[in-house]
Amino acid sequence: MWFRRVPVVAAAAVAAAVRGYGTGGGRRLLLRQLFEPSSCSYTYVLADVSTGDAVIIDPVLETVPRDARLLRELGLTLRYAVNTHCHADHVTGSGALRKLLGCRSVISRASGARADLLVGEGDELRFGAFALRARASPGHTPGCFTWVLDDASAAFTGDALLIRGCGRTDFQQGCPRTLYRSVHEKIFTLPDGCLVYPAHDYNGQTVSTVGEERRFNPRLTLSPDDFVTLMEGLNLPRPHLMDVAVPANLRCGIQDDVA
Ligand SMILES: N[C@@H](CCC(=O)N[C@@H](CCS)C(=O)NCC(=O)O)C(=O)O
Ligand SMILES: [Fe+2]
């Protein structure tokens, strides 16, 4: 049975509370997908089970107490609070988590937002024996990044690629042609089995794979020109929190003492 192969770990609290899965080299990854219902947002906690070092991706302000409690219960040390992009529909929790737990906030330089760490193509965030690698995937916004686990088993795609969908391109300097190129060049080039974890889902889905999206995504399987036509005709209503969320997220969720 799988749990017989779990190595003895240094952090006892982590060992007691966490069921990680092996990713080769004797490492054990903890991965939790968390949901915020009012914006249909996903937040992800990733941690090295052995060391307790953790990263959170796309935290939401309203669910910071829940997420901080989970991190504490599992005995994890939060190193980074990462935003895949400057969100338009909710205020990020990265500023609040930084104040509460002393982690570093992270976003791309191209986002134009403030954070402790501004990243670019190929940058890495290490947590224990694991790393997340940054792939620029602009188009939904110019500063969108996809974060890929170092063994390419999982990609956190933000709003660039959603399950059977993609981020809209009608605000925040979005560009459908750029998004099409990003998804095809930066995400669809990952292995077929790479798990796709998006920042939102509006249809009750939780995870997909690169292979599935390459075959079945109704938008990204179109030709580039048809994709542009479709995206330009979506006529979606503006996110109701946009005027609050964008200014707050340009400050990484209200934190005034960073560059
Ligand atoms: N109704 C929601 C906003 C929904 C929305 O616009 N979602 C964005 C992603 C967040 S910026 C999107 O790209 N959706 C793509 C789509 O095809 O729906 C609200 O009011 O918050
Ligand atoms: Fe977005």
Ligand 1 contact, 159 CB (< 6 A): yes
Residue 244 belongs to some domain of the structure: no
Ligand nearest to the CA of 201: 1
DSSP character for 3?
Answer: G
What backbone phi and psi angles, to 5 degrees, belong to 33? -100, 125
Residue 24 belongs to some domain of the structure: yes
Compute the distance between CA of residue 173 and CA of residue 98 in angstroms, rounded to an integer.
Answer: 28
Which residues line ion ligand 2, judged by CB < 5 Å? 159
DSSP character for 200?
Answer: B
Ligand 1 contact, 240 CB (< 6 A): yes
Bridge-partner residues for 31, per DSSP? 46
The pLDDT value recorded for residue 92 is 98
The pLDDT value recorded for residue 13 is 43
Residue 186 belongs to some domain of the structure: yes
Distance 104 CA to ligand 2 centre (A): 21
Distance 169 CA to ligand 1 centre (A): 10
Compute the distance between CA of residue 114 and CA of residue 76 in angstroms, rounded to an integer.
Answer: 25
Q: What is the ipTM of this complex?
A: 0.99
Residue 246 belongs to some domain of the structure: no
State the 10-residue block means of pLDDT for the chain, 259 residues long.
Answer: 31 46 78 98 98 98 98 98 98 97 98 97 98 98 98 99 99 98 99 98 98 98 99 98 97 64
Distance 32 CA to ligand 2 centre (A): 21
How many CB atoms within 10 Å of residue 204? 7
Residue 19 belongs to some domain of the structure: yes
Compute the distance between CA of residue 223 and CA of residue 236 in angstroms, rounded to an integer.
Answer: 22
Ligand 1 contact, 39 CB (< 6 A): yes
Report helix, strand or coil for 97: helix
Residue 135 belongs to some domain of the structure: yes
In ligand 1, which atom is closest to the CA atom of 162?
15
In ligand 1, which atom is closest to the CA atom of 140?
13
| pTM for the predicted model, two decimal places | 0.92
Ligand 1 contact, 59 CB (< 6 A): no
Residue 75 belongs to some domain of the structure: yes
The CATH number linked to 162 is 3.60.15.10
- Listed in sequence order, the DSSP H helices in 46-156 are 64-73, 94-101
The count of structural domains within the chain is 1
Residue 255 belongs to some domain of the structure: no
Residue 125, domain extent? 8-233
Q: Which letter, b or e, does each residue of 161-196 get, where b requires 16 or more Cβ atoms within 10 Å of its Cβ?
A: bbbbbbbbbeebebbbebbbebbeebbbebeeebbb
